[in-house]
């Protein structure tokens, strides 16, 4: 009888264990900026293993997006191999766009839940936060830098999406139009197939972000040619189901979460955000 009870206890205990979590930081920051999230997850979900990415910190976070995806992605693949039951992935700001690139590129990475925390999933067209890196840069002329061979060596240039210069965007941008399947490539089918393997895809953003521009980009909404925001459901990426968003949505796997009152630099520093909008999605 005692043996049977012990066996039941072990079964229940194993069911209460949460999958490991991988965190990917934003641009011009590092793993230290994600420590609060890491500590809170471990506090509220004891014994959860958290891997906090420490690659491409600070200035090196401006390196080309594909370089970061492939390097960090290999780390995530190694972690995933240790946890065949699957992992949870959280990317903040630019880190969320890197994380999506990893999910779409690495078929051997088994991600259960992917949470994109205020990330420019449809691109960026606001330069206010870039003044420390590119003094004097304004959004109207930023394309002159970013839509060039030199500009494409920068991470921001890889997801700069100027609604007034779409031909240049399609000509020069080497990252965003490809992982969004806006431009067809040899990896088009893989990009969609791999994203559809997710159990949950959570898109978190809010109207008071003041950095991701438009803020709806965090939920795949974006500007049209007149700088009017078109919501995700009316975008070709969703309507034509280019990467699987529509299918994920139909199957209840796409979660769009809008949180007002949060500035971009507070998403990963706010305990309430972790408790109310991250923890409930971790399995």
Helices (H) and strands (E) in the chain, counts: 12, 8
CA angle 97-103-105, nearest 5°? Answer: 100
Give 127-157 pLDDT, tens digit per residue.
Answer: 877 776 788 889 999 999 999 999 999 999 9
In a domain, 262, yes or no: yes
H-helix or E-strand spanning residue 236: helix 236-239
Burial class (CB in 10 A: 0-12, 13-18, 19+), 145: middle
Tell whether 88 is covered by a domain.
Answer: yes
What is the C-alpha separation between 210 and 28, in angstroms, rounded? 17
Model pLDDT for residues 239-266, shown as the tens digit of each residue? 999 999 999 999 999 999 999 999 999 9
Which listed residue (25, 182, 264, 268) is catalytic?
Answer: 264
Average pLDDT, the chain: 94
pLDDT of residue 249: 98
Catalytic residue among 80, 116, 209, 217: 209
pTM of the shown model: 0.94
Per-residue pLDDT, averaged over 32-58, amounts to 97
**What CATH number is attached to the domain comprising 216?**
3.40.50.1820
Contact 5, 72 (CB under 8 A): no
pLDDT bin (cut points 50, 70, 90) of residue 195 is: very high
Angle at 12 between CA 9 and CA 18, to 5 degrees: 135
Distance of CA 238 to the CA centre of its chain: 17
Q: Per the domain annotation, does 81 fall within a domain?
A: yes
Residue 104 placed within a domain:
yes
Task: Identify whether 255 is a catalytic site residue.
Answer: no
**pLDDT on residue 16:** 62
Q: Is 213 a member of any domain?
A: yes
Average pLDDT over residues 166-190: 98
One DSSP character per residue, 100-162 reads: HHHHHH-TT--EEEEEEES--TT-B---GGGTTTSTT--TTTTHHHHSSTTGGGBHHHHHB--
Answer whether residue 70 is part of any domain: yes
Residue 209 is a catalytic residue: yes
pLDDT tens for each residue of 59-90:
999 999 999 999 999 999 999 999 999 999 99
Output the pLDDT for position 11. 42
pLDDT at 9 over 90: no
The DSSP output letter for 224 is -
Q: Prior bond to 214 cis, omega within 30?
A: yes
Domain hosting residue 63, numbered range? 18-130+186-281
pLDDT at 125 over 60: yes
pLDDT score, position 134: 81
Tokens coding 28 = 């011009």
157 inside domain:
no
Task: Judge whether 149 lies within some domain.
Answer: no
Averaged pLDDT, 197-203: 98
Query: Is 110 considered catalytic here?
Result: no
61, 93, 173, 218: the active-site residue: 93
Number of domains in the chain: 1
């Amino acid at each position: 009888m005692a043996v049977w009870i012990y066996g039941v206890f072990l079964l229940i205990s194993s069911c209460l264990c949460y999958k490991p979590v991988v965190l990917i930081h934003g641009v011009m920051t590092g793993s230290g900026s994600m420590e609060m999230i890491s500590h809170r997850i471990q506090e509220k979900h004891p014994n959860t293993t958290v891997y906090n990415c420490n690659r491409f910190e600070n200035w090196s976070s401006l390196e080309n997006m594909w370089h970061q995806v492939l390097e960090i992605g290999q780390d995530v693949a190694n972690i995933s191999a240790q946890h065949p039951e699957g992992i949870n992935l959280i990317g903040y700001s630019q880190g969320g766009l890197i994380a999506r690139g990893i999910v779409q590129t690495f078929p051997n990475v088994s991600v259960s839940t992917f949470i994109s925390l205020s990330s420019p999933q449809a691109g960026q067209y606001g330069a206010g936060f870039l003044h420390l890196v590119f003094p004097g840069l304004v959004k109207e002329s930023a394309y002159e830098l970013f839509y060039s061979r030199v500009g494409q060596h920068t991470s921001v240039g890889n997801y700069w999406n100027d609604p007034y210069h779409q031909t240049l965007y399609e000509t020069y941008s080497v990252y965003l139009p490809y992982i969004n399947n806006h431009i067809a490539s040899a990896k088009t089918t893989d990009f969609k197939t791999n994203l559809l393997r997710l159990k949950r895809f959570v898109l978190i953003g809010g109207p008071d972000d003041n950095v991701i521009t438009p803020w709806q980009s965090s939920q795949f909404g974006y500007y049209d040619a007149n700088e009017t925001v078109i919501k995700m459901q009316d975008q070709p990426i969703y309507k034509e189901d280019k990467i699987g968003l529509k299918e994920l949505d139909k199957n209840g796997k796409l979660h769009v979460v809008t949180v007002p009152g949060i500035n971009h630099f507070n998403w990963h520093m706010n305990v309430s955000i972790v408790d109310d909008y991250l923890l409930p999605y971790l399995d």
